[in-house]
Amino acid sequence: MLDRARALQPRLVQLRRHIHAHPELGFQEFQTGQYVSDTLTALGVEHMRGVARTGVVAVLGNGRGPTIALRADMDALPLQESGDAPYKSQTPGVMHACGHDAHTAILLGVAELLGKEELNGTLKLIFQPSEEGGAEDKSGGLLMVQEGVLDGVERVWGLHVGSGETAGVISVGEGPIQAAADSFSASILGVGGHGAFPHRSLDPIWLASQVLPAIYGIIPRRLDPTRMAVITVGTIHAGTANNVIPMKVDFTGTIRSFEEDTRALLHKSLEEAFSIARAMGGDFVLNHPYGYPANVNDPETARYIRGVATDLVGADHVETALPMMAGEDFAYMARKSKGGFINIGAAIGDKPRPHHHPDFDIDESILSTGAAVLAETARRYLNG
């Protein structure tokens, strides 16, 4: 399978570069979905469009055995790409800065590798929209689950490229591998006035200066130190002039955790931290909805793809993945079916090209490796 995938490498690069040059944001992947559909049609692969708004789901196999799925996400990010690569984004202010173009190309490669195979069962190839963000508090992964794409699916596998890890090295973890990703927005409310007469006002900046240490004290003082979690205040905005005490201070931030009880404690503690403003005569408004749940790999499903990867690329190119605080809406699929999510290193030399950054790019040689691992995992599982 790896030899067959390597023979497809020029085509995989072509697919990835086309998608990279034409990025689209979440739930706007109209031409990306069309490109995926056109490619599947040319391969003679049955598929449906418009799933979860702009997604595509292809079906392979004879339908007489188990049903499994492979997933790739298709959306880009609101960033202006730097550099001068010939496949640079042609859409101002939008770029594939997280590797979803590679994921989509890899899954199209799987369609070509397995399109003519005899598969004893059903394989769904899920081209998912809007992993990076949702509309109406729903991401593409959640909508896919709600629309029944994972109904009857025993196991689902996916992968993510890593621009900071050695190219071709595959990381597989068991249990929680990516954090629940929640956000919060808040306002501390005071009474505005003249900066020369603070005693006639209630300075919300002063109130905020009491709240911030309480927020940053939650992790070290309220949480069991053996648990992993993060609370970050990302923005603080207040005021319009140097001699005006403002009416309010606005905050936004993120909350990351792995266990549901830890998650609940962090949310409760955040409310208590902001309540300091109320105790000191002010007030606050806090919105802290739950976002993506933690992405949890089913141990058996993870071990299965680890075994395939080891056979294909060798044990020296397969590592144990450590949990990370990044979020991933594959988590919804892994809650519905037994999930196995892996990472494949794709660093280019020594220059940092971090995810969600204008300089992001990957070593494209890993496209064939990713396609081979996913295709062989599906083929072996369905054919015993």
- The whole-angstrom separation of Cα 216 and Cα 270 is 10
Beta-strand relationship, 67-73 and 46-51? unpaired
Is 316 annotated in the active site? no
Owner of token pair 């300075």 = 203
- Amino acid letter, 215: I
Which residue of the set 101, 131, 298, 329 is catalytic? Answer: 131
- The answer to whether 150 and 69 have CB atoms below 8 angstroms apart is yes
CB neighbours (10 Å) of residue 121? 19
- The answer to whether 323 and 316 have CB atoms below 8 angstroms apart is no
- Amino acid letter, 314: G
- Each as own residue / partner, the long-range contacts of residues 362-365 (CB below 8 Å, 24 or more positions apart, any chain) are 362/99, 362/102, 362/161, 362/163, 363/167, 363/168, 364/12, 364/13, 364/16, 364/102, 365/9, 365/167, 365/168
For residue 41, with 0-12 CB atoms within 10 Å meaning exposed, 13-18 middle and 19 or more buried, which class applies? exposed
Structure token pair of residue 266: 């962090």
- Each as own residue / partner, the long-range contacts of residues 31-34 (CB below 8 Å, 24 or more positions apart, any chain) are 32/74, 32/104, 33/74, 33/127, 33/129
Residues making up the chain, counted from first to last: 384
Name 67's bridge partners: 122
Beta-strand relationship, 295-297 and 46-51? unpaired
CA dihedral 258, 264, 266, 271 (to 10 degrees): 160
Owner of token pair 């090209």 = 353
Beta-strand relationship, 318-320 and 170-172? parallel
Which residue of the set 24, 75, 81, 132 is catalytic? Answer: 75
Backbone angles phi, psi at 287, to 5 degrees: -120, 120
CA diameter of the chain: 81
Is 131 annotated in the active site? yes
Known catalytic residues? 75, 131
